[in-house]
Structures are given as C-alpha cells and as structure tokens.
Structure 1
Amino acid sequence: MVRARDDLCINVPTFFTCPISLDLMKSPVSLCTGITYDRSSIQRWLDAGNNTCPATMQLLKTKDFVPNRTLQSLIQIWSDSLRHSTILSPDQVLLTVSQLETHSLRSASLTKLLLFATDSHHNKLFLSKLEPLLNQLIRFLHNVDGGLIARANIQFLEQVVLLLALILDGVEDRDGLRNSLLKGNKQSLDSLLLVLQRGGCDSRFASSRVLQFIAADAESKILVAEKEGVVEELLKSAAPENDPALVEAALASLIAISAPKRNKLKLVSLGAVRALSRLLAEVELGAAAVEKVLKLVEAASSTREGRKEICEDAACVAAVLSKVLKVSSVATEHAVTTLWSLCYLFRDRKALEAVTQANGLTKILLLMQSNCTPQVRQMCTDLLKIFRVNSKSCLTCYDTKTTHIMPF
C-alpha cells in the first residue's frame, strides 16, 4: 500500500494494513482465527450480521477479539519514525545493532531493525551479513537474562523471532547459525515454542520458519520433534481455521522434521492424520499447501500406525484420492504413492473398499492415460492388478461408462 505524505509516497508495510479497508490500522485487533483487522472495520463487519473471518471465510467460534499490542507498538514506532527519517545509513544500522546490548534501548533498537528489514530485500541481505546482530538475536533466544526475556516480555521475543525469520535466507554460514541456535541446553527451542504458544499470527509464522530452518539433518530433526509441545503447536497452527500462510508454514516445518521414523510415529500419535484429513476435506488450500498436506499423509502411510489411522478413516482415503489429477503433478504423485502403499504394498482391505467406493479405479485409469511420470504409471499398474484380483468385490461399484479403457 502507498500512503501519501506531503509530496512523498510512502510504502506502508503490508502487515500494517487492514485486510478489509486496506488502510493503515489505528487499533489492530485479532479474531480467534489469528487474523488482525482494524477495530472499526471488523466491528462493522460483525455488526452487519456476518459470522465469518473476512480473510479466510472460516466460521468464527467466537466473535470476541483481542488487541494486538505487538502490532500496535510496531505501527506506532513506524508512524513516529516518519516524522524523522525512515532511512538508516549503514553506520546508523551498526549503531542500532550495538544498542541492542543496552537494556533500556533494546526494544526500540530491535523495532527499528525490524522495520528496516521489512523495507526491502536489500536491507534483509545487509542485516543477514552482520554477525554481531545474529549473535545478539541468538543470545536473546537463549534467554541470557535468566529467562526473563521470554517469560516477562513475549512481545519482545516475538520481534526477535520475526527479525531472525526475515534475514534467514541471506545468512551465508547456515550450518553455523543452526549449531549456535541448538548449542547448550537448547533454550532457543523453548523461546520458539513460547512464540508458537502465545504469539500472534505473524510471529507464529516466523517461529515455524525458524524451526524449519533448524531441522536440516537427522539429529536436529529429532531434537526439534522431541521438544515437548513443538509438534503439538505446529499441528494447531496448521488447523483449517488459521491464516493460510501460517498453515503452510506450519506444514513446511512438520515436513522438515518428519523424515525420522520416530518423528513420524509421534506425528501419528498426536492426531496428525485426522488433522491432515480435515485440511484436505474442509479447506480450499492453494496447490503448494495441498502438496505439503499430501506429503505428510504419505509420510504417515510409511508406518504401520499411520496406515491404521488412515485406513480407519474412509474420508481421509477419499480426500487423498480426490486430489489426483486436480492439483498438480507433485500432489498427484504424493496421493498415488499413499494409495499404492495402502492398497498394493500392504493390501489393506479397508483402504481398498474406500478407494472403490470413491470410484478410484476411474481415476487410476484416467491417470494412466495422462502424461504422468514412469514411477506414477508403474504404481497405477500395480494398483490395477490389485483391483483385478479383487474384481468380484470392487467392480460392482465401478462406473461402467469407462470400462472400454480397462487394460484387462
């Protein structure tokens, strides 16, 4: 958004604007969905008799809203800065970074750096090269003040995580940063978990991104997943009623930690299959998000416990099947791999019945005639063998209008 000031045009950060009015928010408040609006705009929406979140169109469990004080503070500081200067020179940035070590200047300095980072990609890259800044952010996450930062000032901690997430992509020594975040007694995970539990939508998004960044190898994946509460909070963040960007970030983090078998088992035990089934069935997700959901379902299907959960939920099997040929080639491959695992590799009767009832054989035949990959085509061939073996029980449900393309 561009805001006029005298003879200047000022770019207003997107997350400072109300999704309804598209104006700079004066009194930001958050609904139960985690989306923030200007108080006057959302009040008019609710007073008009609406019972959905305007941005996501999710039904509201409650029409109550709470002030987003972190965002209010950022908007106020940003607005105040316009009366002086919004442009920081390299020397001013370095001075601001050094002021993070002074307790009385810490919060204001961090806010300046956060606003500086959101102004341009160039600014993010500049900050990502400042080792003193990275070291200071890590110290904050490690609660060097005896834990007081995390417990007494969640808003400050949210800003730390937001800034770190903004500059992650430009960090050159990525392994070094990961090791620093996980050194000692892993207190950075405590801080990231606290933000997931108590932060706003933007900071939870940022925390999910940092967790995804940390989970780069088998050891770190296990460390993140075994941190009590992290997987649970990521699953909550991926709930259908949340902001789509937060949902996708949480899904990306869950994928990042899901490779080790013990982590897959933990995901299944915490109800991931039911949560993923809801996402596929209830929400209009973008293609990238659907691919992530299906990748996680595929990961669950590689474990006995996961297959049991999937096969006992016919709606989940049907939801997976419904995405074949409808989203993307990546989504189709994840979906077919899951069906192949359930129906061909492990011959689960409930899964076969669910696929049959959902007219899955039609989808499989159509997919074989499409421009699918050799791997997908082979899995489809394997599935057709299973259906041929079970033809007496399954073909009665098959759409006879397409029997002319059956390969047997």
Structure 2
Amino acid sequence: MISTWRTRRAMRRAAKKTTITLGGNENVELSIPAHFRCPISLDLMKDPVTLSTGITYDRESIEAWIDAGNRTCPVTNQPLRSGSTGQDELIPNHTIRRMIQDWCVDNRSNGVERIPTPRIPVSTVVVLEMLSAITEAAGQGDLNECKKLLEKMKNSMKESERNKRRVVANGAAGVLADAFDVLATNSFSPSAPILFENSKFVLEEILALLSLMRPLDSLSKSYLSSSQHSLRCMAWFLKCGDMPARRNAALAIKELCSDPQHLNTIMTTNEFLEELIDPLFKLIKNPICATSTKASLMSIYYLMSSKHDLRSRFVKTGMVPLILEMLVDSDKSVCEKGLGVFDEIIKCEEGIELAYNNALTAPVLVKKLLRVSDLATEFAVSALWRLCENGKNRNDGDVFVEVLQVGAFQKLLLLLQVGCGEKTKNKATELLKILNLHRTRAECIESVDFKDLKRPF
C-alpha cells in the first residue's frame, strides 16, 4: 500500500508540469494529463497497452518490467495470469492512444509532436502458424511458399526488437535449421545442379535468418550438423556464395565448431572438412567483413584444437605468414583470435618451422604483450615460449637475442608483477630463465611500451 501511495503521489507531482523547449531559448510550461503518462516511466505514452488488471502502461516500460522477471501488475500488485511471460495480456488501448494523438495535435503550436501510430507486434499464435507453414512447405518442396514465409518472418523481425525476441522464443531457429536440412538433402547434389539452383535462394534466406538468431540453440545445431548434405551445402556457400551468403555460412559453421558435441560430428565428415580448409583461409586472406573474419578464425581454432593433423593442412595454405601480417595492425577482437590460431598452428613441426624463420614472429608477439587484453597476452606468451623452446632444441641462441632486442624481458617481468594465470605465469618464468642467460649479448628496451608507466621517483 505504501509503495502504491508513493507511486501515485509521484505521478501527481510529475503530471503538474513539464517544460518543452521551442526553437529559441523560450520555454513553455505545458500541463500533461496524468492518464496520458505511463505509471512506470511517468513519460507520455507512445504505445499504451492495458493489462487484465485494468491499468494502462506504455508498452516499452511494461515489457521491460516483465522481462526483468516480474509477474505482477506494478500498480495493483495483482499477479499476471496469462502465459509464462504475461506478454499475452498486453492489449493495445486504442482509445487512450487516439486521445494522446489528439492532445499532441492540439498542442503542436507548443512544440509537441504527434506520436505515430504503433504497429501491432507479432503474436505467439502468428509466429507458431508461420513456423508450421515453413515446415510444411519445406517438406513438400514448395520453394515459392517457403520464400514468401521467410520474407514475412524477416520483415517481422526487422520491424522491432520485440518481434525478434518473440520469433526466437518460439523455436524459430530449430524450425529453420530443420527446413535447411530438408531442402539441402533434397536438392544439394552434384547430380542435380538445376534443382539446387532453384532452392539456393531459399537456403540463403534461411542462413541469413539464422545469423539473426545467434547464439543458436542445441536443437538447431543438431539439424544443421545432422546430415552430410547440410554441412556440404554450407561449405559450398562459404566457397561459392555471394558476400552475404559467405558471411552467414561462416557464422553458422562457427556456431557448430564452438560446440564440442557438434564439432565431434563435423570431425567424422571428412568431405566437409576438406571443403572447409581453403574457403576459411580465403575469408582471412581476402576479408569481406570483420564478422566473417572473426568467425573464420574461431572455426579454424576449434578445428585445429580438435583434430591435430589439420594444423599441417592449414600451414600448407600459408596461414602462418598471413596471421603474422594480420596481427601487425588489427583490432582487439581479431588480434585475440589471430593469436589463438597462431599459438595453435605452431604446435605442429611445419608451423613452428615457418614461425621460427619469419622475421615478424618475435616483434609481433612481444608487441602484443600487455597491450591488447589478458587473453591476447596469454596466447602471445604461449607462442613465445614455443618459439624459444624450439630455439633451445636447435641450440640456436640468435632467437633469444632477437626476443631480447624487442623488449621481451622487461615485459615478462612486468607481467609477473601485474599478475596472470598460473599456466601463463609458469611459461613467463621459464622464458625469463632462458632469456636471462643471454642478456649480456644484447638488450634493447622499446620505450614506447612503457611510456604510460609511473616512475617511483
């Protein structure tokens, strides 16, 4: 009762006056009727909706209240009875909306703009009917009907974030992934190029919609990885599709590779793996957008981590020098993923050999220490440790001199002082012990890396 009384008192006070600034410095005090204000935000309602309790709120405010886990009416404290989210109780109050619009028109000379008529959000019933129709059309191979339904769903999702949440919450990702699997199985075949050409657009649209629903749930991932046709179809789009299709295929493949359960399924499909290596490399070598580059790096990292013989396959594509050149000038996210791929690829003999003989390796790795993020530093220390271990096995002291000359010793000391994970700490300690033996030969501090450090004197 006290909470309700305070709310009403605040509403009465807020409803007395509001200040609207006109074109110049002139201020006009304008009284807004209390029943035009949302009881939650106390602002003029743009899309008034009424609950079963009879209280009217602005849709955005009451949906935020419900999304926060509340299941009661904010004013009356009565429970919301309809559905698990209470969203079905939000009934548009057209009478109040028209009254507000009329009030805005009457006061337009005071600088008040008329609120636009809101679009009715998509309902759960409409979403379920749409998904059922997509499943039926895909099963019957009705590509035209599939195309119309996918366009309708895409338009609904683009209309508002609220519609997008409603579509995703009703299992759209799983239905679309199932439809993709059905269409790919029925049409993606070297012996039926004409059939695939007809269904290609629908398959592209499904991938585009799935990219809007990330992260994908387990069911949708299961459908995408359930058959060789689906996997190879995605690989085809990754290699031969236009720019949006390649991007969306890269995102879908990354979703599968990031899940250990579905990654194991992928590893058993050798033809799919063979068709992935070159397209993933080309998306990094000739990037089409930052999103596809990051997705490709993540997929490569997961693939090499799961199947070690793939490391040498990626080495043969030219991945080692490409990653080093990319790391010279890249943003935080790309740098983290690039360092992860580099640390993974130099675990094979061919990879460490190329890295050892590349002039960029030591400078780039040392440069990234303590400059990007904790994760990037972890990968850089690990890669430096592998590089120096390889030099120790070769009994080649030149690599240690090179690492010292670019300021590794000082950065590693600073890293231990700042703090890091246990594995990184152990590798940094080993590196310092190795490098300390060669400090008399050459040492050079790159002062730019320490310009922001405060001196103790």
Global fold match (TM > 0.5): yes
Task: Note if 1:278 corresponds to 2:316.
Answer: no
> 1:171-182 alignment to 2 at 5 Å?
171-173=217-219, 176-177=222-223, 179-180=225-226
Deviations 1:148-198 (A, max 9, x none): 454455433321222334446353436743552xx3xx2223211221123
Offset of residue 244 of structure 1: 1.3
Residue 252 of structure 1: aligned partner = 298
SS at match of 2:253: helix
Preserved CA contact (<8 Å) 2:150 2:206: yes
Q: Give CA-to-partner distance per residue, 1:328-386, whole Å, 9 cap, x none.
A: 11110010011011103652646434423322222222222212223222212211111
| Aligned with 2:275 (options 204, 221, 229) | 229
Q: Which runs of 5+ in 2 are unaligned?
A: 1-45, 48-118, 451-457
**Per the alignment, do residues 224 and 281 of structure 1 end up closer, same or farther by CA in structure 2, a change over 3 Å counting?**
farther
**Structure 2 CA distance for partners of 1:90 and 1:243, relative to 1, 3 Å:** closer
- 3-state SS in 2 of match to 1:173: helix
Q: Kindly name which structure, 1 or 2, has the bigger radius of gyration based on alpha carbons.
A: 2
Q: Match of 1:361, as an amino acid?
A: F
Q: Counterpart of 1:63? A: none
Specify the alignment match of 1:367 in structure 2.
415
Q: What is the match of residue 330 of structure 1? A: 375
Between 358-367 and 86-95, the greater mean CA deviation after superposition: 86-95
Q: What 5-or-longer segments of structure 1 have no aligned partner?
A: 1-6, 9-83, 403-408
CA contact (8 A) 1:193 1:229 kept: yes
Normalising by structure 1, we get a TM-score of 0.67
**What's the counterpart of residue 203 of structure 1?**
245
User: Residue 233 and residue 179 in structure 1: after superposition, are their counterparts in 2 closer, same or farther (change >3 A)?
Assistant: closer
Counterpart pick for 1:141 among 169, 184, 192: 184
1:386 partnered with 2:434: yes
> Once the two structures are superposed, what CA deviation does each residue of 1:277-336 show, in whole Å capped at 9, x if it has no partner?
1210133x1x23211111111101211111011111121332122111001111100100
* Deviation digits for residues 88-142 of structure 1 (CA, Å, limit 9, x no counterpart): 61354145413343233232222223344555133123243754x4322211233
1 CA distance for matches of 2:302 and 2:284?
A: 14
For 1:282 and 1:312, the matched residues in 2 are separated by: 21
2:145 aligned residue:
105
Partner of 2:25 in structure 1?
none
3-state secondary structure, aligned to 1:278: helix
The residue that corresponds to 2:172 in the other structure is 128
The 5 Å alignment of 1:16-95 reads: 87=122, 89-94=126-131
- Give aligned pairs, total: 313
Tell me what 1:314 maps to: 359
Q: Does 1:157 align with 2:197?
A: no
Q: CA deviation at 1:226?
A: 5.8
Q: 2:386 corresponds to which residue?
A: 341
Structure 2 CA distance for partners of 1:245 and 1:135, relative to 1, 3 Å? closer
User: Partner letter of residue 106 of structure 1?
Assistant: C
Greater relative contact order (Cα < 8 A, sep 6+) = 1
Change (3 A) 1:95 1:376: closer
